[in-house]
Amino acid sequence: MPKQHRYFALFILGICTFTLVVACDFSPKSPISDRAKSPNSESCRIVQHERGKTEVCGQPQKVAALSPHILDSMLALGVQPAAYAEAANLNQQIFDQPEEQIPYIGKWVTTQPIALGDRKSPSLERLTQLKPDLILGEDWLGGDSYQLLSRIAPTLLFSDEQADGTHVWQQDIEGIAKALDREDKVQELQEAYRQKIAATRTALKPILEQDPRVLILNSNLIDHISIIPDSTAGRLIQEIGFKVVRPEGIKTNTRVSFEAIPSIEADIILVFAWSDDQKHFFNPEKLAQMKWKANPLLSSMPASQANRVYFVDYQLWGSNIRGPLADQLILDALPDLLLNSVRKT
């Protein structure tokens, strides 16, 4: 072959090779090709979540948790957050003292995660600056912003809602664990939960035999009160053996009048307290207890007179956190809360 022909052939081959490489680099990605990579591992797996399937590789090192429920599950699985969105915007830039700044489950946080603001509208700007390996959230919160979140990092959205509408962490813990490469921890968490339920049932046997009916209220004790049998604490006390009162014709979390509450028969009343005032985001139950005692209708109820009305924080006992650690905290607290009021017979 003439020398000039050989040069021309090599030139054409080079152009073809370059074109092929560029075409591969800019080929469109499908959701299943999005990856969270880790330099420590080459193991990859396909994780099913509410928005499809995503491939995740290794153990992601920088994980953003977009709600208290997700953070609880992560911490229970032994994974620390790089960023976190709370139930409300606490005007934090960084959780540099997480035990004090993150209600209830902050004591398990050993990092100083970036604060992403409100779980309903986490800061996309801060997430972009962080460049996380993985973003985990709840579908009911992050569904509308899924595409935007996915452009920042592989994003998986989960749901802990069962077919009957109740929420349990067992519903999505396996998916979260698979995303984090912590599947070996799931059985351990489930067994610890079963043992804790059994131990709490034994401890509360005197109450179960004497005062089995529990009415659960959700209230700011100002202008809102509702009956909320379907909640984290409601699920737990039913598993222990209590009967959660469900007045006929009243749907869960439907507002009722203060005048209607005294007509409901119950041995024990749990009041989930919350406040619209950001000053009372932490420990709203103290304010609720004061307002209950100041209301003649409520304070004259038989349960009130027998000191069997208990005020707890909706953030933990209601449905905000809803994870293995929240269950543990509630089950630890129930015996101390209820056994102090056993009636003398």
pLDDT digits (tens, 9 = 90+) for 245-273: 988 877 777 788 888 899 999 999 999 99
Whether residues 195 and 335 fall in one domain: yes
Q: How far apart, in whole angstroms, are the C-alpha atoms of residue 205 and residue 208?
A: 5
Domain boundary among 122, 149, 181: 181
Contact 47, 58 (CB under 8 A): no
Is it the case that residue 345 has pLDDT exceeding 60? no
Whether residues 125 and 226 fall in one domain: no
pLDDT digits (tens, 9 = 90+) for 162-214: 888 789 999 999 999 999 999 999 999 999 999 999 999 999 999 999 999 99
The CA–CA distances, whole Å, from 171 to 56, 107, 144, 186, 198 equal 20, 25, 22, 11, 21
Is it the case that residue 24 has pLDDT exceeding 50? no
Question: For the chain, how many structural domains are there in total?
Answer: 2
Q: Which domain holds residue 329?
A: 189-339
The CA–CA distances, whole Å, from 85 to 111, 114, 271, 326 equal 14, 9, 26, 17
- CA-wise closest residue to 71 among 87, 91, 51: 87
Is it the case that residue 25 has pLDDT exceeding 50? no
Q: Does 170 map to a domain?
A: yes
Q: What's the N-to-C CA distance of the chain in angstroms?
A: 111
Whether residues 222 and 171 fall in one domain: no
Query: For the ranges 6-10, 187-191, 232-236, 256-260, which has the lowest average pLDDT?
Result: 6-10
Contact 135, 158 (CB under 8 A): no
Q: Are strands 213-219 and 225-227 parallel, antiparallel or unpaired?
A: antiparallel
Higher-pLDDT residue of 221 and 236 is 236
Q: How far apart, in whole angstroms, are the C-alpha atoms of residue 141 and residue 122?
A: 10
pLDDT digits (tens, 9 = 90+) for 71-104: 999 999 999 999 999 988 888 899 999 999 999 9
Q: Does 6 map to a domain?
A: no
Q: How far apart, in whole angstroms, are the C-alpha atoms of residue 47 and residue 255?
A: 39
Q: Does 133 map to a domain?
A: yes
Q: How far apart, in whole angstroms, are the C-alpha atoms of residue 120 and residue 138?
A: 10
Q: Does 19 map to a domain?
A: no
Whether residues 197 and 172 fall in one domain: no
Whether residues 172 and 211 fall in one domain: no
Whether residues 44 and 136 fall in one domain: yes
Domain boundary among 181, 204, 233: 181
Query: For the ranges 38-47, 66-75, 242-251, which has the lowest average pLDDT?
Result: 38-47
Whether residues 92 and 221 fall in one domain: no
Residue 19 pLDDT: 35
Instruction: Give the Cβ contact number of residue 163 at 10 Å.
Output: 6
Q: What is the mean pLDDT of residues 229-240?
A: 92
Domain boundary among 181, 201, 231: 181
Q: Does 16 map to a domain?
A: no
Is it the case that residue 10 has pLDDT exceeding 70? no
Q: Does 1 map to a domain?
A: no
The model scores a pTM over 0.75: yes
Whether residues 172 and 271 fall in one domain: no
* Banded model confidence at residue 276, pLDDT cuts 50, 70, 90: low
Residue 220 pLDDT: 79
Q: How far apart, in whole angstroms, are the C-alpha atoms of residue 29 and residue 12?
A: 29
Whether residues 57 and 106 fall in one domain: yes
- CATH code of 238's domain: 3.40.50.1980
- Cα dihedral 246, 249, 252, 258 sign: negative
Whether residues 301 and 322 fall in one domain: yes
The CA–CA distances, whole Å, from 74 to 71, 128, 326 equal 5, 21, 12
* Banded model confidence at residue 281, pLDDT cuts 50, 70, 90: low
Q: Does 49 map to a domain?
A: yes
Q: Does 5 map to a domain?
A: no
Whether residues 122 and 146 fall in one domain: yes
Whether residues 176 and 221 fall in one domain: no
Residue 250 pLDDT: 72
* Banded model confidence at residue 151, pLDDT cuts 50, 70, 90: very high
Q: How far apart, in whole angstroms, are the C-alpha atoms of residue 312 and residue 286?
A: 9
